[in-house]
Structure 1
Amino acid sequence: MRTRRMIHVAVTAAAAGSLLVACSGAGGSSTSGGDGESINVLMVGNPQMEDIAKLTKDHFTKDTGIEVKFTILPENELRDKVTQDVATQAGQYDVATIGAYEVPIWNKNGWLHELSSYADKDAKFDKADLLKPMVTSLSGSDGKLYALPFYGESSMLMYNKEVMEAKGIKVPERPTWQQIADIAAKVDRAEPGMRGICLRGLAGWGELGASLTTVVNTFGGTWFTKDWKAQVDSPEFKKATNFYVDLVRKHGEAGAAQAGFTECLNAMSQKKVAMWYDATSAAGSLEDPSSSKIAGKVGYAYAPTVETQSSGWLWSWAWAMPKTTKKADAASKFMLWASSKEYEKLVGEKLGWSRVPAGKRASTYALPEYKKAAASFGEITLRSIEQADPANPGVQPRPTVGVQYVAIPEFQDLGTKVTQEISAAIAGKTSVDKALEDGQKLAEDVAKNYQ
């Protein structure tokens, strides 16, 4: 795994963005969540999380008296940290951001508090307003919520409209991957230092693994057949991976093997690439003129396809409460606020409506202010989320649900190890054939547990 880079460590609401010593543990006696209490929150280092760290003290803490101590980490490091803390029952954190992959597995292990009872008691929260795909992906087999969505996303293509216009290129609303590869070649070096496209190359099941697996799906591949036969070295998986690696090597961003979501966001917003395929949630940051040089100049298209009608992933970064917390009342108050309509309105009014953590509530897309700010990307985001089919994301039946992952505990390790090899292929240190040959052996070992 790469040398890890901490974005923020223990960023408190009182000093968001400052580097502090690590938070203390979450121990202590159970209280009602009143004045003088504090909770520890571990979350992924995406722009939306950095926004909530800035807003919490003057709004949530001011109203409730509950201090929130944030630890914000890069995605790969976050995944390792939260898994270690929750799986070992260490109890350092009262709240953590996890995703649709972890919820059913961790719930089955008995690691998470159910949250439906808290949401049902809070009329203002309006649980019925949550988008159905988000509720389904964050619920247990008992139908109860075990995480509350902070924002939901699919994936889409984002492109620099000025560059396309200058080259006389019209990007289709529903492009194929070959069309995107052809466009990337035409716009590569369109401006000094600009490359044709940004694609994640950073190893990690949730980094390179997420974007690559959507390409594998639409090329006709899969990690496993329905009866658990490993397919990592299959012709379809190999064709998709060769396409992806060739595209990013020929026309992709500088340092692609170390580029994940954060690096691609920076490259796109700073006009270092002409296109980017990634999370729909990135649009809010690209449209923020305070940080993006291309705000108002971005075009959006659905995730490129080959053999499937759609190929966008389905994900939610969501708030979960480990069973080990002794501050459930205070933690639940924070989570309900952080996923509320009230918080979305706060972001819109204080930071700009394009930065609202959307993709989780139907009502968001009816807000006049948000509809105006998200006019260029809101509809594609919502439709992409609605069209994502975790049960049938490819051309053949799957053994588990999941668009960009396989919903088994072993996939976290398998996906990371395989993408480490593919990332090395992007860096020119190995071949795709060798990477997938090694990956097939790993996948076959995992499959033996289910056959």
Structure 2
Amino acid sequence: MIRTTRSRARLAAPVLLAGLSLTVTGCAGFGNIGNQPGVTTVTFASVNNPQMQDLAQLIPEFERAHPDIKINTLMMEENDLRNAATKDVATEGGQYDVMTVGLYEVPIWGQNGWLVDLTDQAKQDPGYDVDDIFTPVLDGVSYQDRYYAMPFYGESSFLMYRKDLFEQAGLEMPERPTWQQVADFARQLKTDDRAGICLRGKPGWGEMFAPLTTIVNTFGGQWYDENWQAQVDAPGFRNAIQFYLDTLKAGGQADPVSYGFTECLNLVGGGNAAMWYDATSAAGSLESGPNKGKFGYVRAPVDQTEESGWLWSWNLGINASVEEDPAKKAAAWEFVKWATSKEYVQLAGERMGWPRVPSGTRASTFEIGEYAASGEEFAPLTAEIMAEVDPKQPGVAPQPWIGIQYVTIPEFQDVGNQTSQLIADVIAGRRDLDGALRDGQAIAQRAGDKQKQE
């Protein structure tokens, strides 16, 4: 189970909300929000990645099968979703009934009583088959062995590269590349109209620091040592950040600060980048369009460790505010159950294309012949990587929490967001690295000191 090794005190809303921008932008609505007699409307706040956009397009199928339930879907960019959902559950606003919630948030929100306990519903429904869900992912949505969300899709990270561009340049990608090899490739493959590699530079602990923390880990750095002493200005962390900056400058895309997952996906899918280090879930999007067959996939690059991929899942959780409305609570569970079921995987494969099904959560998905055939380039590798990553000690040194690309303490959301903004300022040339790391160290240490006191 993912939790800190020290007990976590109940998180007060002011702590979690500190430093968050609460303005939600980039929303798109789907579904019917009108109040009809005998119809329960469930408001679903979702991250706007490709898998969730596919879900939004398939929701009419759910509504046809459940004419007494309407789903009002709000799609947001990742940072905006986190800000809005965190504010809503922490202040008991009740604006959203169902939310996409990350592996980092679920145990914390479950401990605080901000999400509905779904354990009994999931276990008592034989058709749902909770035992089919991969144990590490199921553990990630648990707090004290109770489930507070259900996994929609799981992922690790790997390196994606254009096989044709490597062949044209006379380059060969190793099955287990080092980061130095990747940086060299990026420099050689960059042209005036094509990036050698796309790496996230958009601020946000779940944007820039998702891939960047894995690089910190393999370069011998970490956010905290075993005594919760911050390590942001220590050599390992510094070396990783400097490497990231150098690689972006020599081989990366223009204006990196504006690039998160979605922007890199569009750049790579449009043929304007030769490599991309990011989520394994991205492969389905790349392979379902005109780029099918053009990409190769290898394990996350390393420096001082044998592995460096992350472990993550996007999950569907129900806001505890629905406890006051039994009809809405029941409708919300029906939607969550449908969207995270074996039946949904089958529907998504048939309607959206098999490379795009949400994977990494259910063992049965990898047994579907159509999916195995469509994902032969990346699906087996994804399963291997997810089995090999070590969330207990992903880096060189031991750590007092379980997690790879995040620190499982409530304050990390604020720590990661603020520090990522400092690094973004360095990327954009607005400040120097020494000053950014010094300020990041102070931010991280304040959170570390709170852990020392618990």
TM-score, with normalisation over the residues of structure 1? 0.92
Counterpart Cα distance in 2 of 1:261 and 1:3: 21
1:151 matched to 2:148? The reply is no
Shift of 1:417: 0.4
- Structure 1 147/5 Cα, relative in aligned 2: closer, same or farther at 3 Å? closer
CA RMSD of aligned residues (A): 1.7
**What is the letter of the counterpart of residue 211 of structure 2?**
S
Q: What are structure 1's unaligned runs of at least 5 residues?
A: 15-22, 29-33
1:41 matched to 2:44? The reply is yes
- Provide the residue aligned with 2:222 in structure 1: 222
Counterpart Cα distance in 2 of 1:338 and 1:11: 16
User: Is the CA contact (8 Å cut-off) linking 1:347 and 1:355 kept in structure 2?
Assistant: yes
Correspondence 1:60-99 to 2 at 5 A: 60-65=62-67, 66-99=69-102
Counterpart among 296, 301, 314 of residue 311 in structure 2: 314
- Provide the residue aligned with 1:304 in structure 2: 301
Counterpart Cα distance in 2 of 1:294 and 1:7: 27
Counterpart Cα distance in 1 of 2:331 and 2:182: 48
- Provide the residue aligned with 1:283 in structure 2: 283
Please give the per-residue CA displacement for 1:161-199, whole angstroms capped at 9, x wherever unaligned. 11011111111111110110111111111xx51110000
User: Is the CA contact (8 Å cut-off) linking 1:188 and 1:251 kept in structure 2?
Assistant: yes
What secondary structure does 1:300 align onto? Answer: strand
- Provide the residue aligned with 2:268 in structure 1: 268
Counterpart Cα distance in 2 of 1:383 and 1:116: 28
1:258 matched to 2:258? The reply is yes
- Provide the residue aligned with 2:449 in structure 1: 448
User: Is the CA contact (8 Å cut-off) linking 1:7 and 1:45 kept in structure 2?
Assistant: no
- Provide the residue aligned with 1:328 in structure 2: 329
**What is the letter of the counterpart of residue 387 of structure 1?**
E
Counterpart Cα distance in 2 of 1:283 and 1:227: 38
- Provide the residue aligned with 2:356 in structure 1: 355
What secondary structure does 2:72 align onto? Answer: strand
Shift of 1:121: 2.3
- Provide the residue aligned with 1:415 in structure 2: 416
- Provide the residue aligned with 1:388 in structure 2: 389
Counterpart Cα distance in 1 of 2:445 and 2:333: 41
**What is the letter of the counterpart of residue 299 of structure 1?**
G
Please give the per-residue CA displacement for 1:211-262, whole angstroms capped at 9, x wherever unaligned. 1100000001000001111100001100000001110122111220110000
**What is the letter of the counterpart of residue 164 of structure 1?**
F
- Structure 1 245/315 Cα, relative in aligned 2: closer, same or farther at 3 Å? same
Shift of 1:430: 1.5
Aligned residue pairs: how many?
Answer: 427
- Provide the residue aligned with 2:9 in structure 1: none
- Provide the residue aligned with 1:426 in structure 2: 427
Please give the per-residue CA displacement for 1:48-102, whole angstroms capped at 9, x wherever unaligned. 1111111111x11111121110001000000000000011110111100001100
- Provide the residue aligned with 2:5 in structure 1: none
User: Is the CA contact (8 Å cut-off) linking 1:214 and 1:311 kept in structure 2?
Assistant: yes
**What is the letter of the counterpart of residue 226 of structure 1?**
E
- Structure 1 5/448 Cα, relative in aligned 2: closer, same or farther at 3 Å? closer
What secondary structure does 1:450 align onto? Answer: helix
Shift of 1:11: 2.3
**What is the letter of the counterpart of residue 239 of structure 1?**
N
Counterpart Cα distance in 1 of 2:239 and 2:152: 36
Counterpart Cα distance in 2 of 1:177 and 1:433: 23
Shift of 1:295: 2.2
- Provide the residue aligned with 2:406 in structure 1: 405
Counterpart Cα distance in 2 of 1:444 and 1:62: 52
Counterpart Cα distance in 2 of 1:367 and 1:133: 21
Counterpart Cα distance in 2 of 1:4 and 1:430: 26
What secondary structure does 2:142 align onto? Answer: coil
Counterpart Cα distance in 2 of 1:194 and 1:272: 5
Shift of 1:36: 1.7
1-10 or 113-122: bigger deviation: 1-10
Counterpart among 114, 119, 137 of residue 116 in structure 1: 119
Q: What are structure 2's unaligned runs of at least 5 residues?
A: 1-19
Shift of 1:6: 4.1
What secondary structure does 1:41 align onto? Answer: strand
What secondary structure does 2:52 align onto? Answer: helix
User: Is the CA contact (8 Å cut-off) linking 1:160 and 1:294 kept in structure 2?
Assistant: no
- Provide the residue aligned with 1:17 in structure 2: none
Identity of aligned residues (%): 46
Shift of 1:388: 1.9
Shift of 1:282: 0.5
Shift of 1:296: 1.6
- Provide the residue aligned with 1:10 in structure 2: 29
- Provide the residue aligned with 2:340 in structure 1: 339
User: Is the CA contact (8 Å cut-off) linking 2:45 and 2:100 kept in structure 1?
Assistant: yes
TM-score, with normalisation over the residues of structure 2? 0.91
Counterpart Cα distance in 2 of 1:377 and 1:115: 32
User: Is the CA contact (8 Å cut-off) linking 2:21 and 2:83 kept in structure 1?
Assistant: no
User: Is the CA contact (8 Å cut-off) linking 2:151 and 2:313 kept in structure 1?
Assistant: yes
Counterpart Cα distance in 1 of 2:26 and 2:345: 24
What secondary structure does 1:333 align onto? Answer: helix
**What is the letter of the counterpart of residue 9 of structure 1?**
A
Counterpart Cα distance in 1 of 2:75 and 2:387: 29
- Provide the residue aligned with 2:179 in structure 1: 177
**What is the letter of the counterpart of residue 223 of structure 2?**
W
Shift of 1:450: 1.6
User: Is the CA contact (8 Å cut-off) linking 2:186 and 2:250 kept in structure 1?
Assistant: no
User: Is the CA contact (8 Å cut-off) linking 1:35 and 1:64 kept in structure 2?
Assistant: no
